[in-house]
């Protein structure tokens, strides 16, 4: 069932905090939404931290329900907006470097200490309009830096995924990673091996869809993380021309474009088909993303080595592939002249139709008396090539040509 959302999520979250406070509990906006608010950005979602236990939250919001996986987190819908309300908590040792061994109810200050970075460890009281900031997150926002709360070494050791989160936040906001935090990431980089490929892949996808994807790639290389993330050692250093050539946020369905750019920045012209299979495993890519990555690199290579030699029909077939334009765009980075010529050629080809409906299909060919057999689809494609080249313009001409091709090919065996 689709729930209709009304008003804005911030007001919905403020109402919830106000109701918890009205019932005698502490309640704050917490984490990402506080950071985004101070940066003047619209938060993706609003999370509330409260001193109320889950039972007490339920007393105030009878329809709240627990979020299975997470201790003490309740989900409340307000005006159709889902708001997570989490009881202040502290987390015990992380013997598996991913998940705390235990969690228990805590004070606000303890709750802040379990969070990853200072800019993510702030609280905002939306009723009293007051910031609570135990770790100088506000200062780090002003200094534009990502700094671990507490001892970076210990915090990254607890949860190795935080290394990738540091890179994601730093690139997204155009921040630096503070020295000690960066040094700790370098020391722990091999620890990423223990993190599930799904979680790594999700972090990388979020970095690559973001407009600052080039910065993310540079951080990953500099910190020595790219090798573990991608399972290969070639390097792109700071030179990420291909990634930098893609502007703006990418849609989820265009992830393959960023991946192809990244492959080209890492491997240059060698980035043909090779990364697709291993990157699929390393980053848990969907089949669609893997195929897209492979196709973009293949088309780009064909454009570079074959375009000038291709006839009209081949050019039209290439230019009407789904990933043609991204591939041409990426070719532009190292071969701007050729890519511009290709664009002009395609404009001309477009006037006579890049992929017009076929004059002759299988059914019409069978009807004309041609027997189905090994040459059948060859004949159909050859006739379509002739159509793309403007050599035939009607079904009649198509059938005559089909017969000719058919007779020639049966004569030659």
Residues that bind ligand ATP (CB under 6 A): 31-32, 44, 47, 115-116, 120-121, 159, 161-162
**CB–CB of 147/173 below 8 Å?**
no
Q: Which residues pair with 78 in a beta bridge?
A: 81
Nearer to ligand ATP, 100 or 292 (CB): 100
CA–CA distance, 212 with 91 (Å, rounded to integer): 32
Q: Residue with the closest Cβ to Mg ion? A: 32
Nearer to Mg ion, 32 or 152 (CB): 32
289's contact among Mg ion, ligand ATP, none, with CB below 5 to 8 A by partner kind, is: none
Shortest Å, Cβ 226 to ligand ATP: 20
Shortest Å, Cβ 329 to ligand ATP: 28
Nearer to ligand ATP, 150 or 361 (CB): 150
Q: Which residues of 220-236 are buried (b: 16+ CB within 10 A; e: fewer)?
A: bbbbbbbbbbbebeeeb
161's contact among ligand ATP, Mg ion, none, with CB below 5 to 8 A by partner kind, is: ligand ATP
Question: For residue 283, with 0-12 CB atoms within 10 Å meaning exposed, 13-18 middle and 19 or more buried, which class applies?
Answer: buried
Residues 6+ apart with CB under 8 A from 411: none
One residue of 14, 29, 32, 175 binding Mg ion per CB under 5 A: 32
Q: Residue with the closest Cβ to ligand ATP? A: 32
159's contact among ligand ATP, Mg ion, none, with CB below 5 to 8 A by partner kind, is: ligand ATP
How many other CB atoms are there within 10 angstroms of residue 405's CB atom? 18
Structure tokens at 26: 């502490």
Shortest Å, Cβ 45 to Mg ion: 5
- Nearest Cα residue to 145 out of 115, 122, 166: 166
Stretch that binds Mg ion, among 29-37, 111-119, 259-267, 399-407 (CB under 5 A): 29-37
Per CB under 5 A, 9 contacts Mg ion:
no
Residues 6+ apart with CB under 8 A from 378: 405, 409
Nearer to ligand ATP, 173 or 279 (CB): 173
Nearer to ligand ATP, 173 or 406 (CB): 173
Nearer to Mg ion, 175 or 307 (CB): 175
User: Where would I find the beta strands (DSSP E) of 172-211?
Assistant: 176-177
Contacting positions for Mg ion (CB under 5 A): 32
């Amino acid at each position: 069932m689709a729930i209709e959302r009304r008003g804005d999520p911030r007001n919905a979250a403020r109402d919830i905090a106000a109701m918890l406070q009205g019932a005698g509990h502490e309640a704050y906006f917490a984490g990402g939404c506080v950071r985004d608010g101070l940066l003047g950005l619209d938060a993706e979602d609003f999370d509330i931290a409260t001193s109320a236990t889950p039972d007490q939250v339920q007393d105030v919001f009878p329809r709240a329900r627990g979020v299975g996986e997470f201790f003490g987190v309740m989900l409340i819908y307000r005006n159709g907006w889902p708001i997570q309300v989490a009881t202040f908590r502290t987390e015990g040792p992380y013997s598996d470097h991913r998940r705390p061994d235990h969690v228990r109810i805590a004070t606000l200050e303890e709750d802040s200490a379990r969070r990853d970075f200072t800019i993510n460890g702030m609280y905002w009281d939306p009723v009293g309009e007051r910031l609570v900031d135990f770790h100088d997150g506000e200062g780090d926002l002003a200094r534009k830096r990502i700094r671990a709360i507490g001892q970076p070494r210990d915090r990254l050791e607890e949860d190795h995924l935080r290394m990738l989160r540091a890179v994601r936040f730093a690139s997204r906001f155009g921040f630096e990673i503070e020295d000690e935090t960066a040094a700790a990431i370098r020391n722990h980089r091999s620890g990423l091996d223990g993190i599930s490929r799904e979680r790594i892949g999700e972090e990388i996808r979020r970095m690559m869809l973001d407009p600052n994807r080039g910065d993310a790639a540079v951080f990953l290389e500099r910190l020595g993380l790219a090798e573990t993330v991608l399972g290969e050692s070639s390097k792109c250093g700071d030179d990420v021309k291909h990634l930098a050539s893609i502007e703006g946020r990418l849609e989820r369905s265009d992830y393959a474009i960023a991946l192809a750019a990244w492959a080209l920045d890492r491997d240059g012209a060698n980035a043909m088909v090779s990364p697709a299979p291993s990157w699929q495993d390393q980053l848990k890519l969907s089949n669609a993303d893997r195929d897209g990555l492979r196709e973009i690199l293949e088309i780009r290579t064909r454009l570079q080595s074959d375009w000038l030699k291709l006839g009209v029909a081949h050019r039209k077939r290439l230019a009407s592939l789904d990933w043609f334009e991204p591939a041409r765009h990426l070719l532009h980075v190292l071969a701007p002249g050729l890519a511009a010529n290709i664009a002009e050629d395609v404009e001309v080809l477009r006037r006579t139709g890049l992929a017009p409906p076929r004059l002759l299909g299988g059914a019409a060919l069978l009807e004309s008396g041609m027997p189905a057999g090994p040459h059948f689809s060859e004949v159909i494609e050859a006739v379509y090539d002739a159509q793309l080249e403007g050599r035939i313009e009607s079904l009649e001409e198509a059938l005559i040509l089909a017969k000719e091709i058919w007779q020639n090919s049966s004569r030659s065996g």
